[in-house]
Structure 1
Amino acid sequence: MNLTIQEVLNRAFLFLQQHHREPKVAEILLLHHLQYSKVQLLMELRSPIPQAVYQAFQADLKHHVETGIPVQHLTGVEQFYGRTFAVNEHVLIPRPETEELVQYVLGEVKQRSQPLSVLDVGTGSGVIAITLKLEMPSLTIEAGDISADALAVARLNAKALKADITFRESNFLEEWLNQGKQFDLIVSNPPYISWSQQDHLIDTVKDFDPDLALFADQDGLAAYQQIISNAPKLLAKQGCLAFEIGDQQGEHVKALVKNTFPKSDVVIIKDLNGKDRIVFAKKCV
């Protein structure tokens, strides 16, 4: 069988649709196995596909359909803010909503002239900390995660992308509480899904993303409570907090911030889909 790349793609699209999977997975996997750029793929659509590539591609495609394993776990990478990050089963796969958090934070910190220090809590693959540092090199950034395996991925990404960040293994803010350090901004995309919602998640998420990065007690608010309650010990004067949130959590997280920082200026920002996605607090101290 001497199929062209276009024919293989067409068959894969149909196969994925028939099994209620995202058709775009076909192109991502094929680019990975061919080691092509998108432009190369378009130029070679009429070319025959090498047999070894076809067999490896088919095996991954079937594995994805049968198990729900994320395509990012098969390729080992995901794109975030125009850069390629390594990912695996130990970290949350970066989402577009988190790019919106980073974009909003950058807009805020660029309004302040002096060099700023940032703490990224629950860094996972390091996408927030690394992107902030690369987009704004004057920032001094530290980042932590409770998972040593996640930190290994974050360090790998920071080294590959040449981002100077200090990483620490820490349960939320614990490692910094007794160091006397202060930060101008604490940012976090913490676990925020309630355990009661576990069965409602698609298999590509609930069966493969680490529970540590997904779920939190107290209806998904426990991580925010932990971070916010300890933030007064770490935030510098005029310090800020920035969180990614679940789309039903805006007012709850805002109330947690206001209870700890009554004079703060707190806003809830919607994502591109019109859902509450970011809570940002200024002038907390």
Structure 2
Amino acid sequence: MATTYKLYEALNWASSYLEDHNREPFAAELLLRFVLKIDRTQLYMKLRESIEEEDFTLFEIAVEKHADGIPVQHIIGTESFYGRTFLVSSDVLIPRPETEELIYYALDRCDSLFADGQNLTAADIGTGSGIIAVTLKLERPSWKVTGADLSEDALRVAKENADKLNAEVDFVQSDLFSSFKPDQTFDVVLSNPPYIPHSDRQSMSEVVVDHEPHLALFAEEEGLELYRKMCEQLPKRINRPGLIGFEVGAGQGEVVSAFLADSFPDDPIEVVYDINGKDRMVFCRLSPHV
């Protein structure tokens, strides 16, 4: 391709190339905007302008990387989440829209459970890139938020995101609650833990399996191990009133609800479904007194 080609022609080439390699063609636009350092509006205003040879070379490299399986987010180094831009790397799970729903529904339930403006404590267990912890702090600045993760590399990314977005969040390296002080408790506990059974690996996209951390994807006991362990530990970690919220894999809501019911038999538990009718979240509201 020569420098006489227009941006729209480069975009059309990349879209077709990615589609031929079983990738989503819309990724071409994200990669072109990344190379040119422009937003979507600017791109569409410049579509009939020529692309510089140096820029096309960089664009071609990026497109070929994605065609080879590298996630777009790892190429551009960021992903949008809850209206903000977060840094991502191969050390953390790429943020998914379902996790935005977890935060939205959790905050909605907190608004009805707690007094307005109350200074709450919240924990994000398995924080990864820090998207839940950082978003909670930015959406509820009066809260004291802690993010925990077993991976030191993931915590490094989480801290970078907190610094970049000016979110005052405490981070701790911990296997679930193991590194917290024995008497440390929280009003809100959210978690999007690894929940994919190892048996599902063969049917998953190689883009995910080959490039995202397995520690953040897969779990033992058919993907349910960490839910079970958290539910066993939560009675000593959650305050009353309090809210527990989990993101779950499709088909896991009933079992996770049972784990919660074993630990909190007298508190209401709710499974929330996505627009496709799949269970995606489980919440437990702890009453002030039981």
TM-score of the alignment, normalized to the shorter chain, above 0.5: yes
Matches within 5 A, 1:54-203: 54-66=56-68, 68-111=69-112, 112-113=114-115, 114-176=118-180, 178=182, 180-203=183-206
1:235 corresponds to: 238
Residue 283 in 1 paired to residue 286 in 2? yes
SS of 2:241 mapped into structure 1: strand
Match of 1:216 among 192, 216, 219: 219
CA distance 1:127–1:250, shift in 2 (3 Å): same
Distance 1:177 1:191 in 2: 24
Distance 1:84 1:259 in 2: 38
TM normalised by structure 2 equals: 0.96
Contact preservation (8 Å) 2:110, 2:243:
no
2:270 corresponds to: 267
Q: Which amino acid aligns with 1:21?
A: R
Deviation at 1:238, TM superposition (A): 1.9
Per-residue Cα deviation, 1:245-269 (whole angstroms, up to 9, x for no partner): 0011000000000011101110000
Residue 244 in 1 paired to residue 247 in 2? yes
Per-residue Cα deviation, 1:209-256 (whole angstroms, up to 9, x for no partner): 100000000000001011110011111122221000001100000000
> Which consecutive unaligned segments of at least 5 residues does structure 1 have?
none
Distance 1:274 1:15 in 2: 34
Contact preservation (8 Å) 2:102, 2:246:
yes
Deviation at 1:177, TM superposition (A): 5.0
Identity of aligned residues (%): 43
> Which consecutive unaligned segments of at least 5 residues does structure 2 have?
none
Q: Which amino acid aligns with 2:89?
A: N
SS of 1:144 mapped into structure 2: strand
Query: Structure 1 residue runs of 4+, over 3 Å off?
Result: none
SS of 1:158 mapped into structure 2: helix
Contact preservation (8 Å) 1:177, 1:233:
no
Contact preservation (8 Å) 1:177, 1:234:
no
Q: Which amino acid aligns with 2:260?
A: V
Per-residue Cα deviation, 1:19-40 (whole angstroms, up to 9, x for no partner): 1110111001000000001111
Match of 1:258 among 251, 257, 261: 261
